[in-house]
Amino acid sequence: NMDKPKIVTCTAPVNIAVIKYWGKRNEELILPINSSLSVTLHQDQLKTTTTVATSRSFQEDRIWLNGKEEDITHPRLQSCLREIRRLARKRRNDGDPSLDSTGLSHKVHICSVNNFPTAAGLASSAAGFACLVYTLARVFGVEGELSGIARQGSGSACRSMYGGFVQWIMGEKEDGKDSLAQQVEPQTHWPELRILVVVASAERKPVGSTSGMQTSVQTSCLLKHRAQSVVPERMVEMIDAVRRKDFPAFAELTMKDSNQFHATCLDTYPPIFYLSSVSHQVISLVHRYNKHYGETRVAYTFDAGPNAVIFTLEQHVPEFVQAVQHFFPPDTNGEDFIKGLPVSHAALS
């Protein structure tokens, strides 16, 4: 029955970059100035759930984010819809007999919800666009490489198309066909690795990543240096540390890369501040903690917001959480103080 709506629901987890993506060489295709590497969280942790319905009776494409209808004409959203429909049409023209009969001309209704604060620098766009592209692909019977489409929704989204440790290879081609995500190791590779999120603020970030990157590319010479001379070697070292499960090497590269990313934000003119005083206190705490034990047991990383993402090994979780709770007691009265404490112990397996 062609009038019966077809409905598909999928989830996609957040990914946390340990080598950061910051800066585009092509705004429209979303091609980065450097490669990046991230860890995708476990499916049941921070994630987006998207339902796509399609029916002959729908008059137009529509989208709801966290229950509120949003503008479907958003250019990145349009890129994803267009690319999925293009692939579906191509498969049909190639005469793939396994294709289902969902009408390509049918309009879609999309509902997407996050189980964490949107746009607080917790990679909500990454999980969101990865989930959207994956769900649309299922609806229209498209298979195969999809990270290149997710990338056109939000750069970091291409990395959420795979689990475990994932690199986004910047590529060289002008058309972006080789700017894709690739799994380095599956999530089962390093089962002792743990991720904690220290929520310093659940508010929306003041400067979005799109405009922040533009200003950085235009004004920061540190960013140019980073992309050309720092990240290429760092990618090799990071992949090696992950493969060897060398926590101190992984942790030190992660912290240095987060620090350099925020230094390029400071080098941007006018400067961009994503870290708050609470973030700085978390950074100091991590360094004091590691120094106390005479080894690197814990690492921090921060994206475009003040919330800390902590990497550690399973055996150190209770002790580190205790240290955080000691220095940042929950429910402190101060208005600008930490609002919540570790919200999630995201296991990787």
Shortest spacing between CB 103 and ligand PMV, in angstroms: 32
Q: Single out the segment in contact with ligand PMV by CB under 6 A; choices: 16-24, 186-194, 224-232, 280-288.
A: 16-24
Q: Which of 299, 330, 329 is nearest to 316 (CA)?
A: 299
Q: Which of 119, 131, 298, 304 binds ligand PMV (CB under 6 A)?
A: 304
Q: How far apart are CA 254 and CA 274, in angstroms?
A: 17
Shortest spacing between CB 127 and ligand PMV, in angstroms: 10
Shortest spacing between CB 18 and ligand PMV, in angstroms: 9
Task: Return the number of the residue (55 or 210) whose C-beta is nearest ligand PMV.
Answer: 210
Spell out, one character per residue from 17 to 56, where the chain touches ligand PMV: x when CB under 6 A holds, - when not: x--xxx-------------x--------------------
Interface size with ligand PMV, residues (CB under 6 A)? 15
Q: How far apart are CA 299 and CA 197, in angstroms?
A: 12
257 lies in the site for ligand PMV, by CB under 6 A: no
Strands 62-65 and 107-114, bridge-based pairing: parallel
Contact 13, 47 (CB under 8 A): yes
Shortest spacing between CB 207 and ligand PMV, in angstroms: 11
Q: Which DSSP string do the residues of 22-88 spell out, in sequence order?
A: --EEETTTTEESS-EEEEEPPTTSSEEEEEEEEETT--S-EEEETTEEE-TT-HHHHHHHHHHHHHH
The amino acid occupying position 143 is E
Task: Return the number of the residue (88 or 128) whose C-beta is nearest ligand PMV.
Answer: 128
Task: Return the number of the residue (22 or 116) whose C-beta is nearest ligand PMV.
Answer: 22
Q: How far apart are CA 146 and CA 159, in angstroms?
A: 11
Q: Which of 128, 181, 187 is nearest to 163 (CA)?
A: 187
Contact 61, 81 (CB under 8 A): yes
Task: Return the number of the residue (36 or 307) whose C-beta is nearest ligand PMV.
Answer: 36
Q: Which of 47, 119, 303, 320 binds ligand PMV (CB under 6 A)?
A: 303
Contact 181, 39 (CB under 8 A): no
Residues 139-158 touching ligand PMV, rule: CB under 6 A, are 154-156
Q: Name the H helices within 145-297.
A: 147-151, 209-219, 221-225, 231-244, 247-267, 277-293
Task: Return the number of the residue (125 or 296) whose C-beta is nearest ligand PMV.
Answer: 125
How many residues make up the chain in this entry?
Answer: 349
Spell out, one character per residue from 81 to 120, where the chain touches ligand PMV: x when CB under 6 A holds, - when not: ----------------------------------------
296 lies in the site for ligand PMV, by CB under 6 A: no
Shortest spacing between CB 176 and ligand PMV, in angstroms: 15
171 lies in the site for ligand PMV, by CB under 6 A: no
Task: Return the number of the residue (278 or 309) whose C-beta is nearest ligand PMV.
Answer: 309
Shortest spacing between CB 235 and ligand PMV, in angstroms: 12
Q: Which DSSP string do the residues of 72-130 spell out, in sequence order?
A: TT-HHHHHHHHHHHHHHHHHHHTT-TT-----TT-EEEEEEEESS-TTSSS-HHHHHHH
Secondary structure (3-state) at 336: coil
Secondary structure (3-state) at 225: helix
Secondary structure (3-state) at 247: helix
Q: Single out the segment in contact with ligand PMV by CB under 6 A; choices: 122-130, 137-145, 219-227, 310-318.
A: 122-130
10 lies in the site for ligand PMV, by CB under 6 A: no
Binding residues for ligand PMV, rule: CB under 6 A, are 17, 20-22, 36, 123, 125-126, 154-156, 209-210, 303-304
